[in-house]
Amino acid sequence: MTEVLVMQEEFYTIRLATTTDRESTQRISVDAYTKAYLPVIGAIPKPALEDYTPRIEAGQVFVIEKSDQVSGVLVLEPRDVYVLIYSVAVDPTVKNKGFGAALMRFAESYAKNINVRELRLFTNSRMHRNLEFYRRLGFVEIGTRAHPTRVGERLVDMSRILTL
């Protein structure tokens, strides 16, 4: 699925990642998650450290680019009744230019295209900027749970019901 979006009077393309995007997806994920999470929670989250090759091969990774420069990464996991937004990462050098919001709108279009009417995601409870961003986009908290690998940490599960 490819979608061209107009934002800030410029054109951006969101497309399915290919194996040639592996290096940029890894770099952006490491840079974005490390810069955002390390100062707040003192740890680097799993999406920053995993190998995206299997996800790219499975068709779960999308990239946003402008002028053939990859600026952000979106990882979507389609489930039976919802689509999990596993990861949204924007290159810190182009932060606050609308790439994250564009990727989230794409996630909505993707879900609607496969006739799924719910998006879900999760984030660390101490990532207040993430929680505020997702709430502005219409996500609501549906629960909290213990982090599976970091004792004392909590994850916040969020959902957004879509109109088909």
CATH of domain 3-116: 3.40.630.30
* 66-101 tens-digit pLDDT: 888 999 999 999 999 999 999 999 999 988 888 999
Q: What is the structure's pLDDT at 86?
A: 96
What is the reported pTM?
Answer: 0.90
What is the DSSP annotation of the chain?
Answer: --EEEEETTEEEEEEE--GGGHHHHHHHHHHHHHHHHHHHHSS--HHHHS--HHHHHTT-EEEEEETTEEEEEEEEEE-SS-EEEEEEEE-GGGTTSSHHHHHHHHHHHHHHHTT--EEEEEEETT-HHHHHHHHHTT-EEEEEEE-SSSTT-EEEEEEEEPP-
Domain ranges of the chain: 3-116
